[in-house]
A and B are shown apart, each in its own frame.
Chain A
Amino acid sequence: MNKLVKILILLPLLMFGFSSLNAALTIEITEGTEGALPIAVVPFDTSKVASKLSADIAQIVSNDLNRSGVLTVLSRKSLPAKPHYSSQVEYPAWRTAEQDYLVIGRVLEKTPGQYEIQFQLLDVLKQKQIIGYSLQSSKRKLRASAHKISDLIYERITGVRGAFNTRIAYIRAQQNKGRKYVLQVADTDGFNTQTVLESDEPLMSPSWSPDGQSLAYVSFENRRPEIFIQHLTTAKRIKISGFKGVNSAPSWSPNGDFLALVLSKDGDPDIYLMHIETKRLTRLTRHRGIDTEPVWSSNGQSIIFTSDRGGSPQIYEVSAKGGKPRRITFEGRYNAAPSVSPDGKYIALVYGSEGQYKIAQLERDTGNLIMLTNSSLDESPSFSPNGKMVLYASTRGDNSVLYAVSVDGRGKHKLSDQSGDIREPAWGPYNLKQ
């Protein structure tokens, strides 16, 4: 008995241990950055670092800023100079190069493997520093530090908090070598991939805990759908729901205490709330027909979900205390898979019309529905924690890939994996540990 428990605990740990072997996802900016602000990022000075750094900080920052759709980074070839200190900057050259902003920096090695990264964001027109920071980092944290620099630059220029230093979860489905489903997390630029779980049976619907430390997901590993919660660093996991019938679509409450989920144990698929600690269930909807895909409103007061009670799938809202659901989408025959923006003002969803399934954004105040994509097989939208991007899955040719589109339609990039489909993305929360 004890041995079995040990093996069960060890198994996910082992899988977790292999994670560093996973290749990064391929990232590609697919749509232009018209109207984006010009910024130059000079390679950081690493002359005082003994061994070669494992990450090119300036390159990571450049890629981040380019992906935002808000900024466009000058190519390295076109840099008129390579200053590392503000005293070395000759502003007229940067003005001639038509740059609004300039980023310079250097990496110092405090002790072997421990670094201090200093950077400055300069205003080319005003010829002065906008911000300057010094970050402590280590070999393992270099990429995270680079994303943090991107966040600081982005926030200063746009006034909106950056979401580069966050993580995404998704399902990778291998097509060759037999069926294989992998739940992974990665940085927002596709690097640093980490396998959470591997299975021969389907894995679905990852949902982040609000502290970013755990994932809830659906696994068919016992030849039926069950919901598990797994801690990402300890790999400790528990089965939270394994009732007869459907157990699916887990969604973590903003305060972390509850999961909204879908069970069909009492008949048709309905929405339930489960208190995670006590596993106590409250049934929220009671309806002949499909109720599924619950997500929490940003204040945790209500649940937004998909239901076909009106004849075709539409989005509804019901108080988390129960009561009568209210329909909130009216345009089109097919609206499903809601994702609520962090400020609660928008709902991203799958909009189906004339055989095309696109990602659209519903403005709650006006009821206006705005198309964010223009393809035919899009699904699983998920807002970035700053509400500026929507990550979704799209089928292109034989493969399913991820796209992130900015909500103003200005930028779009693709995340793909050569070895299979990637789908069901879930953008994680801000990293609270920093």
Chain B
Amino acid sequence: MMLLNARSKILFLCVTAVLISACQTGSDEIIEDSTAIDGVEQSQLEGSEVSTDTSGTAADLTVLEDGSDNSAIAFDDEAQSKADSPQVMLDKADSDIANRVIYFQYDSAKISEDSLSTIEAHGNFIASNKNVSARLEGHSDERGSREYNIALGDRRAQSVRRVLLFQGASSDQLETISYGEERPVMTSHTDDSWSKNRRVELVYEVN
């Protein structure tokens, strides 16, 4: 029994690893695309490819576990029933969705390699909790023109939104808003405070 359980765990981990790596390559493409000029490509990526990918892997997972042992399913069910409510998960200080701020480079809406896993964790969380919604608040530093910064904040929020959608969040769970440079978290005129002000904040609501 113990042995079987361990085996199914390994299987589960392998599948998850495959799933994550698949997602990462996919979202890399999306981020590349956000700088491209063609709008058509992007909407294709956002729609069909992503959803078939994930559902395909999910189906594989069920088949594998079905075939190996019944207790594997029991394990999954057990984990599911033990799963915390969305609010509890949001309140956890050490979870992978505890970080709700994504930072950006100057005059850029490109998501960094480091931020990607954080956003993906949020995407998974939103995708598996249909009763949560997130407000993506885009911000910029104070330099340059105010209206351009509103547009820049909007682009940043849209970049995050694309990854969340890719992870399976649905568009009616997400709202984007840009505050530009109107709401800095730090007010000194230094590189350090500017880098902290160039951000997207995820603000959750559990419905």
Q: Which residues of A contact B (CB under 8 A)?
A: 202, 204-205, 220, 223-225, 245-246, 248-249, 262, 264, 267-269, 287-293, 306, 308-309, 312-313, 334, 336-337, 350, 352, 355, 357, 377, 379-380, 395, 398, 423-424
In the bound complex, CA of A360 to CA of B154 (Å) = 27
Within 8 Å of chain A (Cβ to Cβ): is B36? yes
B120 at the interface (CB under 8 A from A): no
Task: Take A202-B182, A225-B177, A225-B178 as given contacts and tell me if A288 and B189 are in contact as well, using a CB distance cutoff of 8 Å.
Answer: no
B181–chain A nearest beta-carbon distance, Å:
9
Which label, helix, strand, loop or mixed, suits the secondary structure of the B interface?
Answer: mixed
Within 8 Å CB of B152, what residues of A?
A: 290
The reply on B7 being an interface residue by CB < 8 A is no
> Does B158 lie at the interface of the complex (its beta carbon under 8 Å from any beta carbon of A)?
yes
Shortest Cβ distance from A337 into B: residue: B145
Q: Are A290 and B39 in contact (CB under 8 A)?
A: no
Bound together, the chains give a CA A204 to CA B148 distance in angstroms of 12
Contact B142 A293 (CB under 8 A): no
Partner among A223, A268, A312, A350 whose Cβ is within 8 Å of the Cβ of B155: A268
CB <8 Å contact, B154 and A380: no
A246: nearest chain-B partner, CB-CB: B154
Is the pair B183, A202 in contact by a Cβ cutoff of 8 Å? Answer: yes
The 8 closest A-B pairs by CB, nearest first: A337-B145, A202-B182, A336-B145, A290-B151, A269-B151, A249-B147, A292-B151, A293-B147
A129 CA to B183 CA, complexed, in Å: 56
Within 8 A of A (CB), among B162-202: 176-180, 182-183, 187, 189
A313 touches B144 (CB 8 A): yes
Interface check B96, CB cutoff 8 A: no
Is the CB–CB distance between B155 and A204 below 8 Å? no
Which residues from 93 to 112 on chain B have a C-beta closer than 8 Å to any C-beta of chain A? Answer: 107
Q: How many pairs of A and B residues are in contact by the CB < 8 Å rule?
A: 101
A246 touching B179 by the CB < 8 A rule? Answer: no
The complex places the Cα of A267 from the Cα of B154 at a distance, in Å, of 10
Q: Is the CB of A424 within 8 A of B146?
A: yes
Closest chain B residue, CB of each to CB of A309? B37
Chain A residue contacts of B42, Cβ below 8 A: 288
A309 to B148 alpha-carbon distance, docked (Å): 13
Chain B proximity of A338: nearest CB distance (Å): 9
Assess the B39–A267 pair: CB atoms within 8 A.
yes
- 5 new A-B contacts at CB < 8 Å, known A246-B150, A248-B147, A264-B154: A224-B177, A269-B154, A334-B107, A336-B144, A337-B146
**Does B143 sit at the interface, judged by CB under 8 A?**
yes
Give chain A nearest CB distance to B106 CB in angstroms.
9
A306 contact from B38, B145, B178, Cβ within 8 A:
B145
Residue of B whose beta carbon sits closest to that of A376: B189
B151 touches A377 (CB 8 A): no
- Determine if B147 and A292 form an interchain contact, defined as CB atoms under 8 angstroms apart: yes
Query: CB-nearest residue of chain A relative to B143?
Result: A357
How distant is A221 from chain B, measured CB to nearest CB, in Å?
13
Q: Would A288 and B151 count as touching, CB distance under 8 A?
A: no
The reply to whether B145 and A293 form a contact with Cβ atoms under 8 Å apart is yes
Measured CB to CB, the closest approach of chain A to B38, in angstroms, equals 7
Is B107 a contact of A379 with CB atoms below 8 Å? no
Question: Contacts of A223 on B, CB cut-off 8 Å?
Answer: 177
A313-B143 contact given A204-B182, A246-B154, A246-B178, CB 8 Å threshold: no
**Given A220-B179, A288-B37, A245 contacting B154 (CB threshold 8 A):** yes
Task: Tell me the complex Cα distance, A380–B180, Å.
Answer: 14
Kindly state the separation between the CA atoms of A205 and B182 in the bound complex, as whole angstroms: 12
Residue from the list B36, B148, B179 in contact with A290, Cβ < 8 A: B148
A-B contact pairs, 28 of them (CB 8 A): A202-B183, A204-B147, A220-B179, A223-B177, A246-B150, A248-B147, A248-B150, A268-B154, A268-B155, A268-B158, A269-B155, A288-B38, A288-B42, A289-B155, A290-B148, A290-B155, A292-B148, A292-B151, A309-B37, A312-B107, A313-B107, A336-B148, A337-B145, A337-B146, A352-B143, A377-B189, A379-B145, A395-B142
Question: Whose C-beta in chain B lies nearest to the C-beta of A287?
Answer: B37
Query: Is there an interface contact between B148 and A313, defined as CB atoms closer than 8 Å?
Result: yes
Q: Which residues of B contact A220 (CB under 8 A)?
A: 179, 182
Q: Is the CB of B143 within 8 A of A204?
A: no
Write out the residue numbers on chain A whose beta carbons fall within 8 Å of the beta carbon of B187: 398
Cβ distance A370 to chain B, nearest Cβ, rounded Å: 19
Residues on A with C-beta less than 8 A from B107 are 308, 312-313, 334
With both beta carbons as reference points, the residue of chain B lying nearest to A338 in the complex is identified as B145
Given contacts A288-B39, A312-B107, contact A204 B150 (CB under 8 A): yes
**Would A380 and B146 be within 8 Å (CB), given that A267-B39, A288-B37, A292-B151 are in contact?**
yes
